[in-house]
Structure 1
Amino acid sequence: MTFPVVWIYWAISLTIVTYAAAWMLNNRREYGYAALVAIYAVYLAASQILAARVVEFDIGIYVFIAPAAVFIYPFISQAIDMINEVYGMKRAQIAIFIAFITQVLLVIFFVMTNSLTPAPFFAYEEAWQEIFTFGIRLTVASWISFLITQTIDTRIFAGLKKRYEKRIILRSVSSDAVGLTLDSIIFVTIAFAGVAPLLPLIIGQIVAKNIIGFLDTPWFVWYKKMLEDKPAPPKDQTQ
């Protein structure tokens, strides 16, 4: 699959999610928070699964090496910003906890499935075991980096919002840049130490995630624009 095709899929998926989230908040406000948390959890699960595949990230002048999850993970930062923007920092932190619990369940389901005896005709057991074994390490790395960086992201975003209410691009880009950079360092170090060269993967992740994180900013601005004419839901006062 070529990268131009990947970018088409990327833009379509981001457009669908952004519009659906804004529509839900505008028309079914009572379900808005649940919908955003569900989107957030799906992004997180997808990023953990896709992280097992290492791909080339071609920016035209240089080709970086990074896990395939770089195309998805910036969506996680955008999703938590979407929650933070509407519901505030405290409920964003609750969303982080809920998403984390879903990932714990995901690992339990993997372990449960792996405890079963494979069918005699299942020809992919060896490949499954390799992916499963490596996947557990990726998941642990993801858990640690996720809890640290998403908490930092929400606090930076909320802090900037207090000072720069109208500067939505500044708030989104700044909080995402810090979170995505830290996530790249923490995740790659834990997940790939002793398995692959760390520095190229860290650099590749930092560059790729921040490029994608910057490119998805117009969708966040669009999301905010679609919500402007609607009354905001009550926020927690303990931000």
Structure 2
Amino acid sequence: MFNLLWGAGFVAVNFALFLVCYRLFGKNGLYTWIGAATLLANIQVVKTIEIYGIVMTLGNTIYATIYLTTDLLNEKYGEKEARKAVWFGFFTMLMSLIIMQMVLHFKPGADDFSQESLEIIFGMTPRIVIGSLCAYFVSQFLDVRIFSRLKVAYPSRSQLWIRNNGSTGLSQLVDTLIFSSIAFIGLYPWDVWWEIAITTYVLKFVISAASTPVIYLARSFKFADER
């Protein structure tokens, strides 16, 4: 019960900080959030929690806000800006991966106490790294594309929930299947693989659906340089 209640509060804090970031820094704040979210998601994913007997990894909440961010960029500033943000996030992931792998290969000093912990957090196996990069690249660009198509089919301001949930629901399914396949097929039996994939996707979708009021609120923000 504690993890469930704490998790609900955790989701609310993530959404609140997202809104604060956008309110304070405008469009630049959204790019900042993309960079921070990609880094934090890959750090949090190494921690597992259990809610009502279901084991899951952290990182899904902050990762879901990346879709929220690109959808908001697409809604207010257009597909080109959303694609730019996806490339920014991909570069952030790749840059942090390369730098931290080099950091791990430095020979630690005699009094160093951080090497083992850094290896646990950043020493991800190649399959997980490749799976994460591929899933992000494909699903994020797919999300931008679907959102733009839905924007044409459902252009009303009141239909933002269709654009947001429709694009995110499909792209997160692709994200989950790509990552789970690359990272876990062959390591777990099929029944375990399906359980991981299904629970991961359901959690991501629930969090994304909960973000619907957030994107409506964020869209209403006005900035002097955008009028």
Same fold (TM over 0.5): yes
Residue 192 of structure 1 and its aligned partner are, at CA, apart by 2.7
Residue 45 of structure 1 and its aligned partner are, at CA, apart by 1.3
Question: Hey, what does 2:142 align to over in structure 1?
Answer: 152
Of 81-90 and 112-121, more deviation after overlay is shown by 112-121
Residue 67 of structure 1 and its aligned partner are, at CA, apart by 2.0
Task: Mark the CA change 1:125 to 1:194 in structure 2 (over 3 Å): closer, same or farther.
Answer: farther
Whether the 8 Å CA contact 2:3–2:51 is kept in 1: the answer is no
Matched, 1:17 2:18: yes
The one of 171, 196, 199 equivalent to 1:204 is 199
Q: Percent identity?
A: 22
What is the rounded CA distance, in whole Å, between the counterparts of 2:86 and 2:40 in structure 1? Answer: 15
TM-score, structure 1 length as denominator?
0.82
Residue 127 of structure 1 and its aligned partner are, at CA, apart by 5.1
**Number of equivalences:** 221
Task: Mark the CA change 1:130 to 1:192 in structure 2 (over 3 Å): closer, same or farther.
Answer: farther
Task: Mark the CA change 1:24 to 1:133 in structure 2 (over 3 Å): closer, same or farther.
Answer: closer
Matches within 5 A, 1:23-172: 23-25=24-26, 32=27, 34-58=28-52, 63-122=53-112, 125-126=115-116, 128-134=118-124, 136-166=126-156, 167-172=159-164
Residue 205 of structure 1 and its aligned partner are, at CA, apart by 0.5
Q: Secondary structure at the match of 1:159?
A: helix
Q: Secondary structure at the match of 2:155?
A: coil
Question: Hey, what does 2:210 align to over in structure 1?
Answer: 215
Q: Secondary structure at the match of 2:9?
A: helix
* Structure with more contact order per residue of length (Cα contacts < 8 Å, sep ≥ 6): 1
What are the superposed Cα offsets for residues 68-88 of structure 1, whole Å, 9 maximum, x if unpaired? 112221111101111111111
What is the rounded CA distance, in whole Å, between the counterparts of 1:175 and 1:41 in structure 2? Answer: 21
Residue 136 of structure 1 and its aligned partner are, at CA, apart by 4.8
Matched, 1:175 2:164: no
What is the rounded CA distance, in whole Å, between the counterparts of 1:195 and 1:160 in structure 2? Answer: 38
What is the rounded CA distance, in whole Å, between the counterparts of 1:95 and 1:107 in structure 2? Answer: 18
Residue 129 of structure 1 and its aligned partner are, at CA, apart by 3.3
Residue 2 of structure 1 and its aligned partner are, at CA, apart by 2.4
What is the rounded CA distance, in whole Å, between the counterparts of 1:91 and 1:20 in structure 2? Answer: 17
What are the superposed Cα offsets for residues 179-233 of structure 1, whole Å, 9 maximum, x if unpaired? 1111111112212334443211101111110111111111111112334xx6895
Q: Secondary structure at the match of 2:30?
A: helix
The one of 169, 177, 180 equivalent to 1:185 is 177
TM-score, structure 2 length as denominator?
0.86
What is the rounded CA distance, in whole Å, between the counterparts of 1:135 and 1:18 in structure 2? Answer: 34
Whether the 8 Å CA contact 1:188–1:198 is kept in 2: the answer is yes
What is the rounded CA distance, in whole Å, between the counterparts of 1:83 and 1:175 in structure 2? Answer: 14
Q: Secondary structure at the match of 1:226?
A: coil
Query: What are structure 1's unaligned runs of at least 5 residues?
Result: 26-31, 235-239
What is the rounded CA distance, in whole Å, between the counterparts of 2:51 and 2:76 in structure 1? Answer: 33
What are the superposed Cα offsets for residues 86-125 of structure 1, whole Å, 9 maximum, x if unpaired? 1111121111112111111101111121111122344564
Task: Mark the CA change 1:226 to 1:124 in structure 2 (over 3 Å): closer, same or farther.
Answer: closer
Residue 39 of structure 1 and its aligned partner are, at CA, apart by 0.6
